[in-house]
Amino acid sequence: MHNNILPLGALTSWISETESLHCTEKITSWLCDHNSLTQKLELQFNHFFVEVKQQVYIKPNCTLSPMFKNEDKILVREVFLHCENKPVVFAQTEIPFSTLTEQQAELAEIGKQSLGKILFQDPTMLRGQIEVTEFKQGSLFHQLATDFQQPANHSLWARRSLFYLNNKPLLVSELFLPASGIYDQ
Ligand SMILES: C=C(O[C@@H]1C=C(C(=O)O)C=C[C@H]1O)C(=O)O
């Protein structure tokens, strides 16, 4: 795997938030919330912080970043969002080089700042439709959860959506880990 990037986008099929989702109302309310996830987690938990797992430039292909496969290069940013000293979300953001221009060049340098803080403060920000996907037990992400001492005997859910800053796209995908609490009845 290139730089052991987790190919979140290509590993699954995505359905529109407008479809009927076979999950609880609680899970749906988190998956389909168009507001900032950072803000929502900060309101719900203490000690929110962003751990940058890696930030690499890659040439997209049909496995990695299929949505931007015609771009020369993209920046892939992988982070874990932590609350109360536990990782609660694995997030992967794909930013085409053609988006990293003008004021948006700064997106490559945000470090441990939450991307959401920047996106939702930008007056030009538009968010596209949310798509969701279900990872059934035994997935790569169940192993990730187990590695974080969060074994799951149920599906794990993820969402993705395109954001636009000055009409330039970037794709944000987020997988909710068990410690997020969204799977608790
Ligand atoms: C898009 C948001 O930003 C969050 C923070 C991210 C980061 O810092 O890389 C990535 C995805 C999101 O979970 C948000 O808060 O809604």
Structure confidence by residue, pLDDT tens digits, 115-162: 999 999 999 999 999 999 999 999 999 999 999 999 999 999 999 999
Q: CA nearest 96: which of 110, 122, 124, 77?
A: 77
Q: Mapping DSSP to helix (H, G, I), strand (E, B) and coil, where does residue 151 land?
A: coil
What's the pLDDT at 46?
A: 93
Ordered structural domains, the chain, with CATH: 27-180 (3.40.1410.10)
Tell whether 115 is in a known binding site: yes
Structure confidence by residue, pLDDT tens digits, 6-48: 778 777 899 999 898 889 999 999 999 999 999 999 999 999 9
How many angstroms does the Cα of residue 130 sit away from the middle of ligand 1? 14
Tell whether 160 is in a known binding site: no
Q: Compute the distance between CA of residue 110 and CA of residue 52 in angstroms, rounded to an integer.
A: 10
Decide if 36 contacts 172 (C-beta within 8 A). Answer: no
Q: CA nearest 5: which of 61, 87, 49, 70?
A: 61
Tell whether 174 is in a known binding site: yes
Question: Residue 1: pLDDT above 60?
Answer: no
How many angstroms does the Cα of residue 69 sit away from the middle of ligand 1? 22
Percent of the chain at pLDDT above 90?
Answer: 84
ipTM value greater than 0.90: yes
Structure confidence by residue, pLDDT tens digits, 43-76: 999 999 999 999 999 998 777 787 898 899 999 9
CB-based pocket (< 6 A), ligand 1? 36-38, 50, 77, 79, 81, 89, 91, 93, 114-116, 119, 172, 174
How many angstroms does the Cα of residue 105 sit away from the middle of ligand 1? 17
